[in-house]
Structure 1
């Protein structure tokens, strides 16, 4: 376990880290965290708790995820780390020509065109079947109860729900969007903070997924309903696309950073971007966290990693280079040599040949899970299948319509994916799961959390509390207002276009659980930028 200081970071929210032994669930919504803990107390393990929490989040935080989204997981059990990629491909009938014939020069944000096969229900079923102790229907019961009986709207949830309703009211025009407003608003208005909210259709769908092991969603009545609604409104998703889909068990990828192995899911996920940045940063020594030089090198390494990531990352078997090439130590040094005293405009290199929710769980048996799922951009496509509560993702928005791009749209292909779970180990021992959700902030958040932990010895809560930065494009970097002013000014003198942002919502929302290998004691941190909560036992 990292040697961290128990004291809080000077600029922290003063939320204290959690310490427990028998179990811990960390996520962005207190009701979901408690649901996961309840499953642990019923005899479930960390995998069961992760599924319960994830399903509950589709109910109590629909602004960030849903049944119709994708999911990824890293699971530590019995001395081994397993990876699960439950992201879905484009429909077989969808291609570049079809999109352009409909008048689009780029993939739209809303509607049926950006809808890809949802993977989240398959992730729950696959995890339950392989590693769970309790039946899936029992694990989904807390989510079902909240959907049926209702729950009060929490502050950050209410904020983003209201924002989404306002945006959708102006941008979603057409019959295909009517059911979103019927499902997620009351007479066109989002629920207020403290107001009770329920969704019986959502409950019925979760119950059907639990009773059938998600078979109904992919090869049963729910699949038929999705197919019917897609055909009705000119969508390309078909029940054949759903029936053909299976989640993939994958070998996680890693980079060694100062004696710790940092693990991510391989492409099509963008976890590779975080590893490339760390592979560059490990060639530098950092004397202190709060210095302009530290922030400058972090930002520059991140820019270089994103340049490579946006050029190369797509479905893994369609990539022009291997991940091993991009994580080559010598290539990391070459990229690091490009970092000077001034801010640069990043360009991809040539490597040598050869809206999202995050949760972390741990139990007293040593199992640990890093899990993330999303509909993308909040509520996703704006498409809700009638009678089901299923809001479909718009993950296909990230496809390129340029035939020369690596991430070009192709039938049955998975797009570059932003959601990424992280995991830290040392030697053959697990340290624990971590993650920071939030679009292209995610690999940037992973790098900052890892460095806060390994380089600067911050405890889990302080590692999350610390001020964050986010490279946006070119030389533009957004920073939180809690970042010391003298550092922001020094970065500006180095050529960075610094934008101080009042709203911290865009800087990601993370969770961490570290385990002491000798005592089994768990140390957790949760995000101050959301309704974050840790349920401990």
Structure 2
């Protein structure tokens, strides 16, 4: 990995961090420290990642929770393993039910977009296969913060405050009572630095720790979810929960500039980043800050997204082979469509969502890329009373078009936006990376990787650099930190540019690279409250 760690071409309040024995990077400082505690107590990178992930359900509830899904890439023993912790639609949920409720597309809130949560099963499965410390120990930091309280950090307060308006129309709906009792007990979002306790969440965490997650799927917590779903019109049943298992999968990869870039396969849309990289492979990018460089990146991503939105689904229902989408010949065909002016692609309306990404590494060579998400902020808004279990809204990504591979059906997994990334070279780990944020995620992956592999930026500079985000059609949002000549040049090429001062929607990433001498090099996102915890 070639970069100069002393050079920072973009203003940043952070610097690349170096360490030898262990490192945890998250978007919330308390969660990073939770992971580091496990390393200092003899745990490995998997223990650290899990402790951080469990802690994030407490200290960053605006983006993930106990009802989330989770994906992971784990490097250990010279091999990369993939885990898909996403859940399917409940057995009682189908297209006809949604249409009968008056919807013409999947709703964002309430019971209809809730899928079987996979995060808890993913925690248990990762620990069973790769963990070292007792499972209950991984819960200790999260339990402390849930019981004793944690101060709300600035970015999380901003997201919490935004949720007030989002859920205001549902305040009198009995199905949303748990949301207000748990996360708005004072009738408002907490202020920056205000201490928040989550006693219901703490009791559930203790139960999960004692039962190694079993109570969530086949015990008292499953019974409570079933009961509340029946009482308030939901489709989720304890039979759906009991049937669920996280799934080990073979990661996908493409070669880019001599490095192998790895992603989780569909139903995740990590393939979008790989397709875009395949297209970019045919271009030689001399400098980052040129109109031509930004234009080509945007066009490649638009083409990749148009395919992903049309073809990606639960792999059991896909009619297009992944190998065909990632073939060099197909990339050549798509690349040939890129000219001097902005294209108008047929498929896709990307947006930014609520997710947490973290990565961890230890001194033994183990590395973890982990992502966990409700989807949109607090998810569906359904929180099981007395438990702190906030259920996801992942089913919102289903189509209701019967002609689409991703059309809603019972027991089917939806198109999924969370994507952990990993980089290797010549069969050796370089390290985990990720950029959270709904449909921004593959766009963030592409930009961070180009910054790293084409422009040789150090990890912090690769994260700091101004970003763009394709929204739909020719509409592209660009951070205000981008140069005015870039913004005007893109407009002249036909892009409909919206300049944004608020950087929150442009993704929040983390990186750990391992140098050939074993030194760990970490960076965290300036767009959130992140920390690199290391020793």
- Range into which the TM-score falls when normalised by the shorter chain: over 0.9
Q: Name the residue aligned to 1:231.
A: 230
| Aligned: 1:366 with 2:373 | no
- Cα separation, 2, equivalents of 1:101 and 1:130: 44
Q: 1:501 to 1:45 in 2, by over 3 A?
A: same
Q: Secondary structure at the match of 1:433?
A: strand
- Cα separation, 1, equivalents of 2:207 and 2:449: 39
Structure 2: segments with no counterpart, 5+ residues: 349-353
Tell me by how many angstroms 1:520 deviates: 0.8
| Aligned: 1:133 with 2:132 | yes
- Cα separation, 2, equivalents of 1:12 and 1:476: 27
Instruction: Output aligned runs, 1:488-499, within 5 Å.
Output: 488-499=487-498
Tell me by how many angstroms 1:337 deviates: 0.6
- Cα separation, 2, equivalents of 1:356 and 1:507: 12
**Contact kept? 2:263, 2:270, Cα under 8 Å:** yes
CA-to-aligned-CA distance 1:329-356 (integer Å, 9 cap, x gap): 111111111000000112479xxxxx10
Q: Secondary structure at the match of 2:83?
A: strand
Q: Name the residue aligned to 2:97.
A: 98
* 38-47 or 399-408, larger mean C-alpha shift: 399-408
- Cα separation, 2, equivalents of 1:322 and 1:455: 29
RMSD: 1.1
TM-score by length of 1: 0.98
| Aligned: 1:531 with 2:532 | no
| Aligned: 1:218 with 2:217 | yes
Instruction: Output aligned runs, 1:38-437, within 5 Å.
Output: 38-347=37-346, 355-437=354-436
**Contact kept? 1:8, 1:461, Cα under 8 Å:** no
Q: Secondary structure at the match of 1:245?
A: coil
| Aligned: 1:500 with 2:499 | yes
**Contact kept? 1:308, 1:347, Cα under 8 Å:** no
CA-to-aligned-CA distance 1:125-168 (integer Å, 9 cap, x gap): 00000000011111111111110111111111111111112321
Tell me by how many angstroms 1:279 deviates: 0.6
**Contact kept? 2:170, 2:176, Cα under 8 Å:** no
Report how many residues are paired.
530
Q: Secondary structure at the match of 1:373?
A: strand
Tell me by how many angstroms 1:8 deviates: 3.8
**Contact kept? 1:227, 1:239, Cα under 8 Å:** yes
TM-score by length of 2: 0.98
**Contact kept? 1:67, 1:391, Cα under 8 Å:** yes
Tell me by how many angstroms 1:98 deviates: 1.2
* 43-52 or 149-158, larger mean C-alpha shift: 149-158
CA-to-aligned-CA distance 1:245-282 (integer Å, 9 cap, x gap): 00000000001001000000000001000000001000
Tell me by how many angstroms 1:187 deviates: 2.7
Match of 2:519 among 518, 521, 527: 521
Tell me by how many angstroms 1:513 deviates: 0.2
CA-to-aligned-CA distance 1:344-400 (integer Å, 9 cap, x gap): 112479xxxxx1000000000000000000011100001000110000001001111
**Contact kept? 1:35, 1:56, Cα under 8 Å:** yes
Structure 1: segments with no counterpart, 5+ residues: 350-354
Q: Secondary structure at the match of 1:478?
A: strand
Tell me by how many angstroms 1:172 deviates: 4.4
* 258-267 or 395-404, larger mean C-alpha shift: 395-404
Which consecutive segments of 4 or more residues in structure 1 shift more than 4 A? none
- Cα separation, 2, equivalents of 1:76 and 1:32: 21
- Cα separation, 2, equivalents of 1:447 and 1:77: 25
**Contact kept? 2:177, 2:385, Cα under 8 Å:** no
**Contact kept? 1:50, 1:359, Cα under 8 Å:** yes
Instruction: Output aligned runs, 1:461-476, within 5 Å.
Output: 461-476=460-475
